[in-house]
Structure 1
Amino acid sequence: MLAALDLDEVFVPKTKSSLPRFFKYLNNTPGRLIYLSVSLALGWHSYLSFNVSGRSYTRFASHYDPYSPIYSDRERAQIMVSDLCVLSVYYALYRLVLGQPHIGQHGTGAAALTIRRSRIGSRGALATVDRDFGSVLDWVFHDVTDSHVVHHLFPMIPHYHAREATEAVRPVLGEYYRFDGTPVWRAVWREAKECVYVEAEGEKRKGVYWYKNEL
């Protein structure tokens, strides 16, 4: 599977040299359990709020900031409206004394292949994989997991047309369409174990990186 090394918006792959020094102590079963627990409970919100694991920008970036470098000028009013809606929902949940963690995860793969900026093109948009979370969770997540490939290709398609669009593009993409039928929790553990950092393949295919796990 192809992925953009430095232009992906979230879950940007790290090289071995950029891993935090303490990460070697997490490259074991107890460490992965701690990492996954924190990541699944807080990772998505940390990304939205503080751009944790997100693409590098020249200044602070947050999905809740209308003037964040993530957005264009024409999108700023929409972010303000979105912020008001989010605050309204949080207030309603507070009043109901109800909350739950959002445990979403962007798709990668143990055999994931990564390309640098000069080689991205349309291949970068295919840098993900569809996963079936089951009919209930697919509905809860608005089909963002089982129709994520088409979301990368056409992000403006509303979620209620995502499945229909996926069925339309699958025969067109052919071998470039990726679906992983591995049970979700097994896939999460596999990626935490095997997709630790990326490393260059060599001069024969300059700019190509593979996921590794040896520290």
Structure 2
Amino acid sequence: MAPPHVVDEQVRRRVVVEDEIKIKTSNYERGYVPMDLTIKEIRDAIPAHLFIRDTTTSIMHVVKDLVTIAAVFYCATFIDTLPSLALRVPAWIAYWIIQGTVMVGPWILAHECGHGAFSDSKTVNTIFGWVLHSALLVPYQAWQLSHSKHHKGTGSMSKDVVFIPATRSYLGLPPLEAAADQEEVSKHQHHHHEESIFAEAPLYTVGTLAFILIFGWPLYLIINFSGHEAPHWVNHFQTISPLFEPHQRKSIFYSNSGIVIMASILVYLSILFSPLTVFMYYGIPYLGVNAWIVCITYLQHTDPVVPHFRDNVWNFQRGAACTVDRSFGKIVDHLHHHIGDSHQCHHMFSQMPFYNAVEATKHLKAKLGKYYLQDDTPIAVALYRSWRACKFVEDEGEVVFYKH
């Protein structure tokens, strides 16, 4: 049996340690403890051959996507020969859905070029990325630059440049203590707090969500919608912009040139065939591509289970691990080059070739354990849930989660 003074010292030390843990975890919502793995430890868990890029394999994926798009387009040329409107309308709708889904494939491949995951050759990456993204009205170099910043700061409340949670104070909500008091009062007085009654209506939620899905991507490019706060109006087309460095002006010019060339082609085709024809064959599927991109990226980074870090506890691998892998079904996952169900691996190792990411994800999952985030919730349900539940985070705390 230990002497009394030894017992007292042990108790004192235990109390001090417990107090330190309480102080530390009080800054971590939900008792979340950040991951301690290094990026090297994570990389070493994945077989080395999965990091090897093969240009021919990548180009074959491009060929496959373009042939598929051409085949779907060719089938659509017969729609107007159908004998009745009752057949033509659903046929056009089917074309828009299918073509919009298929066209995401080249978008993803261009995105891989921007990361250098398409080929070991920077020239090959630039040529294919610029052509494919320009064809979909995406400024290749400009978005490559801003997207790189997103990857470098994912999960950080200060370093990320997109999908940054609003804070309680930014939305003008009452402080946490006051909010708790208001909630208690509401329970007794049977009325809601400051939120508009329309914001709680399912129809309003669906309507705002549909707007963001269709127009969120071009709004991000044009007015930096959902991006980080900037000192003045910025977009992805300005050669002088807070989004870019002065030495990157030439790159922005090249990406703008791609948009101008593609827009000119669309204008020429509109004159040749009619604006309605171009809109039917290209315009509506293009909006479908936008909806897919917003849906995929939003769900990857916005979910009640995804933590966000402040500078004291953030590091690259912690942020990269805080993305959610989701399957959109075998066919869509294949058409989209598995960008949805292997995204955490992509964030960890963005230069890994996309066709190896599924296998690499198995090793990543085993290494990360509880820090690997995967959700099998049906996509429509997940979208609705996140859109309603992920409104803001607290102003204080080293690790914070979305609240509503």
Please point out which of 116, 137, 148 is paired with 2:310: 116
Please point out which of 163, 168, 190 is paired with 1:16: 168
Judge conservation of contact 2:230–2:242 (CA < 8 Å) in 1. Answer: yes
CA drift at 1:12: 1.0
Q: Once structures 1 and 2 are overlaid, which stretch shifts more, 118-127 or 33-42?
A: 118-127
Q: Label 1:167 to 1:49 Cα distance change in 2 as closer, same or farther (>3 A).
A: farther
Judge conservation of contact 2:306–2:323 (CA < 8 Å) in 1. Answer: no
Q: Label 1:45 to 1:171 Cα distance change in 2 as closer, same or farther (>3 A).
A: same
Kindly indicate whether residue 340 of structure 2 is the aligned counterpart of residue 145 of structure 1.
Answer: yes
Name the residue aligned to 2:156. Answer: 4
Aligned runs of 1:121-136 on 2, under 5 Å? Answer: 121-122=315-316, 123-136=318-331
CA drift at 1:53: 0.8
Aligned runs of 1:66-105 on 2, under 5 Å? Answer: 66-72=239-245, 77-93=250-266, 95=269, 96-97=278-279, 98-99=282-283, 100-101=286-287, 102-103=290-291, 104-105=294-295
Name the amino acid aligned to 2:166.
K
How large is the Cα RMSD of the aligned pairs? 3.0
How many pairs align? 209
The alignment partner of 2:393 has SS state of strand
1:10-62 deviation line (CA, Å, top 9, x unaligned): 12111233227997442331221121011101112211222111122344442
Q: Once structures 1 and 2 are overlaid, which stretch shifts more, 142-151 or 21-30?
A: 21-30
Q: Label 1:19 to 1:91 Cα distance change in 2 as closer, same or farther (>3 A).
A: farther
Give ranges in structure 1 of 5+ residues lacking alignment.
Answer: none
Judge conservation of contact 1:130–1:149 (CA < 8 Å) in 2. Answer: yes
CA drift at 1:188: 0.1
**Distance in 2 between residues matched to 1:7 and 1:81, nearest whole Å:** 27
Q: Label 1:199 to 1:186 Cα distance change in 2 as closer, same or farther (>3 A).
A: same
The structure with the largest alpha-carbon Rg is 2
Between Structure 1 and Structure 2, the one with more strand by share is: 1
Please point out which of 210, 223, 247 is paired with 1:37: 210
Normalised to the residue count of structure 1, the TM-score between the two structures is 0.78
Kindly indicate whether residue 245 of structure 2 is the aligned counterpart of residue 50 of structure 1.
Answer: no
**Distance in 2 between residues matched to 1:197 and 1:4, nearest whole Å:** 14
Q: Once structures 1 and 2 are overlaid, which stretch shifts more, 87-96 or 170-179?
A: 87-96
Name the amino acid aligned to 1:46.
L
**Distance in 1 between residues matched to 2:242 and 2:220, nearest whole Å:** 14
Name the residue aligned to 2:385. Answer: 190
Identity %: 31
Normalised to the residue count of structure 2, the TM-score between the two structures is 0.45
Judge conservation of contact 1:26–1:35 (CA < 8 Å) in 2. Answer: no
1:132-180 deviation line (CA, Å, top 9, x unaligned): 1223433444433222212222333454444344344333322221111
Name the amino acid aligned to 1:33.
V
CA drift at 1:110: 1.9
**Distance in 2 between residues matched to 1:85 and 1:161, nearest whole Å:** 30
Name the amino acid aligned to 1:197.
F
The alignment partner of 1:145 has SS state of coil
CA drift at 1:198: 1.4
Name the amino acid aligned to 1:14.
A
Please point out which of 235, 238, 246 is paired with 1:62: 235
**Distance in 1 between residues matched to 2:306 and 2:331, nearest whole Å:** 28
Judge conservation of contact 1:7–1:55 (CA < 8 Å) in 2. Answer: no
Q: Label 1:93 to 1:43 Cα distance change in 2 as closer, same or farther (>3 A).
A: same
**Distance in 1 between residues matched to 2:248 and 2:333, nearest whole Å:** 27
